[in-house]
Amino acid sequence: MGFRTIFTTLFLSLQALVYFTFIRYWKTTKYYKPSHRWWALAPFVIFNLSFIVVSFIWGRNFAPPEWFKVLGMYPFYVWMAATFFISLWLLIGKVIKLPFQIPIWIAKIFKPLRQKINSIKEKKAVKTVDLSRRKFVRYATMGISTYAFAGATYGMLRHDSYVIDHKTITIENLPQELRGTTITLLSDIHAGQYMDEKEMREYADVINSLESDIVCIPGDFVNFEAKDVHMLTNAFRDLKAKHGVYGSLGNHDFFQDVDYVSKAIVNESPVQLLRNDHRSININGKKLFMMGVDDTRGSGSDMSTVLNYYSGLETKLKQTDTEFNSAPKILLCHKPYGFDSLAQKDIDLVLSGHTHGGQVVPVKFGNFNMSFAATVSKYIEGIYKIGRSNMYVSRGIGSVGLPIRINCPPEITKITLA
């Protein structure tokens, strides 16, 4: 309840910024009348009704009928995403202006300086520049608003349009017998409100059709509700791979009852859950270590606990298995943030997710990714390499916050070891 209250307060504050900014701009036109303020408020009320109903009356357990999704939830998703990005644009503008405004505010405290500033503002050249600036800001805001609503609509309609990526990853000193081994990587399923059993069954069919030797799922099986794990286990009960299906837990799996989620996955699906544990896989007479570490409830970038989990697992395997140092090692680790440290352990391949590739990426050009994920880590999506260690970060298939993806389609990845 605390999180929802904070989220709602923040969301409504951002919408208030958009509303009052719009009214201020409208006042500068000849079309404005005081009564128009109430007409402008109407869409803010209408588009938030579904949010209030679902969040505070039914809560996360509510499974809305299709008509309510189409008429209520989908417009809300678009409205929420668009107003968020418009408010972000407005906030950036205010932050940019702040260093220039503060000295003026301070100067205006003193009457002689205040009179001087006001006289400068009255000059024709200054008025002309100010008018040009206001027009530029107004048209830029209109452009951003159009892009925000169009992009949010497109992102919502395409949020489940996945792609299948085929990647080859070279492992140093990989035994000949293991070359050509295939792994299907599926991450961040987030079973729940935005990912139902029917959708997950379709993903399961696709995974099986790829016929990989191994299937890996590095965390976030559920979104928030532990009970939603049963939708996942029902959908994935026929998931198969020649050398097994393996998974590790993500931060969302800890939000409610991690033991409940874990027990259901182990007992009701073919997924072998690696909770700071490992499996030794024999492929053509050669051993491959498949390892997995738990994530933590916190979704921040502090990886100390997770790295300690791996250190304990590594110590145990070095003491009990003489082949550990020389055999290829694959680690399922939900967050990619600890790769710098894990690379020092000579892990051949780390498989991660968590970032969703940014999920909403307004600007993407080559390796440049403008998203919230990029502010947290340099590891966002795709292949990374440090020394002999490789890491692949999946964009995942699920969504959090809103079922919207922009420049970041859901991903199923088939990896071939070479």
Q: Average pLDDT of 129-153?
A: 70
Shared-domain flag, residues 144 and 197: no
Bridge-based pairing of strands 271-273 and 277-283 is unpaired
Question: Can you read off the two tokens belonging to residue 220?
Answer: 């976030």
Share of the chain above pLDDT 70, in %: 89
**Per-residue model confidence (pLDDT) at position 64:** 66
Of 374 and 252, the one with more pLDDT: 252
Beta strands in 320-408 (DSSP E): 329-332, 349-352, 363-365, 368-370, 382-386, 389-393
Shared-domain flag, residues 129 and 170: no
**Per-residue model confidence (pLDDT) at position 153:** 78
Provide the CATH number for the domain around residue 175: 3.60.21.10
Give pLDDT tens digits for 334-393.
999 999 999 999 899 999 999 999 988 877 777 778 787 878 889 999 999 999 999 999
363 strand-pairing partners: 370
Give pLDDT tens digits for 104-134.
778 778 877 777 767 776 777 656 666 666 6
Handedness of CA 237, 240, 243, 246 (dihedral sign): negative
Boundary-marking domain end, from 157, 184, 204: 157
**Per-residue model confidence (pLDDT) at position 189:** 96
**Per-residue model confidence (pLDDT) at position 31:** 78
Contacts of 193 (CB under 8 A, 6+ apart): 60, 63, 223
User: Which of these ranges, 26-40, 111-125, 129-143, 244-258, has the smallest mean pLDDT?
Assistant: 129-143
Boundary-marking domain end, from 109, 129, 157: 157
Query: Quick check: 332 and 292 in contact, CB under 8 A?
Result: yes
Given the structure tokens 């880590």, which residue do they identify?
377
**Per-residue model confidence (pLDDT) at position 111:** 76
Query: Quick check: 309 and 294 in contact, CB under 8 A?
Result: yes
Shared-domain flag, residues 215 and 307: yes
Shared-domain flag, residues 151 and 168: no
Shared-domain flag, residues 319 and 336: yes
Shared-domain flag, residues 121 and 206: no
Q: Average pLDDT of 408-414?
A: 94
Q: Average pLDDT of 236-253?
A: 96
Average pLDDT along the chain: 86
Shared-domain flag, residues 117 and 168: no
Contacts of 344 (CB under 8 A, 6+ apart): none
What pTM was estimated for this model as a whole? 0.81
Q: Average pLDDT of 20-24?
A: 83
Count of domains forming the chain: 2
Give pLDDT tens digits for 279-304.
999 999 999 999 999 999 877 778 99
Question: Can you read off the two tokens belonging to residue 10?
Answer: 């923040």
Boundary-marking domain end, from 122, 157, 192: 157
Shared-domain flag, residues 252 and 192: yes
3-class state of residue 239 by DSSP: coil
Shared-domain flag, residues 185 and 237: yes
Residue span of the structural domain in which 113 resides = 2-157
**Per-residue model confidence (pLDDT) at position 161:** 81
**Per-residue model confidence (pLDDT) at position 267:** 96
